[in-house]
Amino acid sequence: MNLNTDTTDYRCGFVAIVGRPNVGKSTLMNHLIGQKISITSKKAQTTRHKVTGIYTDNTAQLVFVDTPGYQTYHRNALNDRLNLNVTETVHGVDVIVFVIEALRFTDADRAVLEQMPKQVPVVFVVNKLDKAKDREVLAEFIANAEKEYDFVATEVVSAKHGLRITQLIEMLKPMLPHSEPMYPEDMVTDKSSRFLAMEIVREKLFRYLGEELPYSMNVEVEQFEEDPETGMYSVYIAVLVDRDNQKAIVIGKGGKKKKKISTEARLDMEK
């Protein structure tokens, strides 16, 4: 497929999928990014988001970002920090997809809604459509649920059965800013794992080398192989610098910086 991404009509932006546990967020994500087509390679940008999946077609690229999940039952310091992370993530996105189960709107759902930033549009997605056989009951449920928040739009889907996923994507597109695609392809292929591995290393470079230096660097995957017997990956990533004297900065005293960057990157990749 030929992508005409030079036109300013193209849209690209960040989408956060939120909701209490078990409403079907992961299932939905899998279906959203399952419709992969390839796209001509563009240089990746560093973002402050944790990307979990990318949907790309010839009119838009939807970049789904991770939210660690809301913990609303047990309040403690760690959960508060997790929730803070979620709140920070959803602040930086272009649109939020708030997922619930058909015919169930609980206090846990409300607790998630309460944390939504007012300036980001929230799309209401009622999942598990297959469970709501009576369309009148469903319509009434939705009408009541829509009173809970000032949603910009509503869509009914079945993530598990792949129903109305395309409609959801089409609805989200106009909510994204005009922009060229930020990523070369989605993340369900091996190549995408390579890309993710590079992103992780890039993130560590930013963390440990300060803000300016990494911009003059490039990260390249030299080897990315899976051992078919153990399922373990061998990943070799090169950090390319502009000038010789920058090498020492990356490596650090006694190799300390390099070790820290590679160890942390490896731990993230394993996850």
Specify the residue, 70 or 208, whose C-beta has the smaller distance to Mg ion.
Answer: 70
Shortest distance (Å) from residue 19 CB to Mg ion = 9
Shortest distance (Å) from residue 164 CB to ligand GDP = 10
Torsion of CA 235, 204, 61, 67, to 10 degrees: 110
Residues binding ligand GDP (CB under 6 A): 19, 21-27, 127-128, 130-131, 158-161
Q: What share of the chain is helix, strand, coil (3-state, %, to 5)?
A: 40, 20, 40
- Smallest Cα–Cα separation from 57: which of 41, 39, 40? 39
Which uninterrupted H or E stretch holds 127? strand 122-127
Residues binding Mg ion (CB under 5 A): 25-26
Per the CB < 8 A criterion, the answer to whether 262 and 236 are in contact is: no
Q: Which does 5 bind (CB under 5 to 8 A by kind): ligand GDP, Mg ion, none?
A: none
Angle in degrees, 0-180, between the axes of helices 256-270 and 190-209, rounded to the nearest 10: 140
Specify the residue, 161 or 178, whose C-beta has the smaller distance to ligand GDP.
Answer: 161
Shortest distance (Å) from residue 173 CB to ligand GDP = 22
Q: Which does 159 bind (CB under 5 to 8 A by kind): Mg ion, ligand GDP, none?
A: ligand GDP
Q: Which does 216 bind (CB under 5 to 8 A by kind): Mg ion, ligand GDP, none?
A: none
Q: Which does 23 bind (CB under 5 to 8 A by kind): ligand GDP, Mg ion, none?
A: ligand GDP
Shortest distance (Å) from residue 180 CB to Mg ion = 30
Query: Looking at the DSSP assignment, which residues form a beta bridge with residue 99?
Result: 125
Specify the residue, 19 or 214, whose C-beta has the smaller distance to Mg ion.
Answer: 19
Distance CA 181, CA 8 (A): 11
Specify the residue, 137 or 248, whose C-beta has the smaller distance to ligand GDP.
Answer: 137
Distance of CA 184 to the CA centre of its chain: 15
Per the CB < 8 A criterion, the answer to whether 183 and 36 are in contact is: no
Residue 256's CB is within 10 A of a number of other CB atoms, namely: 11
Count, residues in the chain:
271
Shortest distance (Å) from residue 66 CB to ligand GDP = 11
Specify the residue, 102 or 205, whose C-beta has the smaller distance to ligand GDP.
Answer: 102
Select the residue whose beta carbon is closest to Mg ion and give its number.
Answer: 26
Q: Which does 189 bind (CB under 5 to 8 A by kind): ligand GDP, Mg ion, none?
A: none
Specify the residue, 112 or 235, whose C-beta has the smaller distance to ligand GDP.
Answer: 112
Torsion of CA 32, 36, 38, 43, to 10 degrees: 30
Shortest distance (Å) from residue 36 CB to ligand GDP = 19
Say whether 239 sits in a helix, a strand or coil. Answer: strand
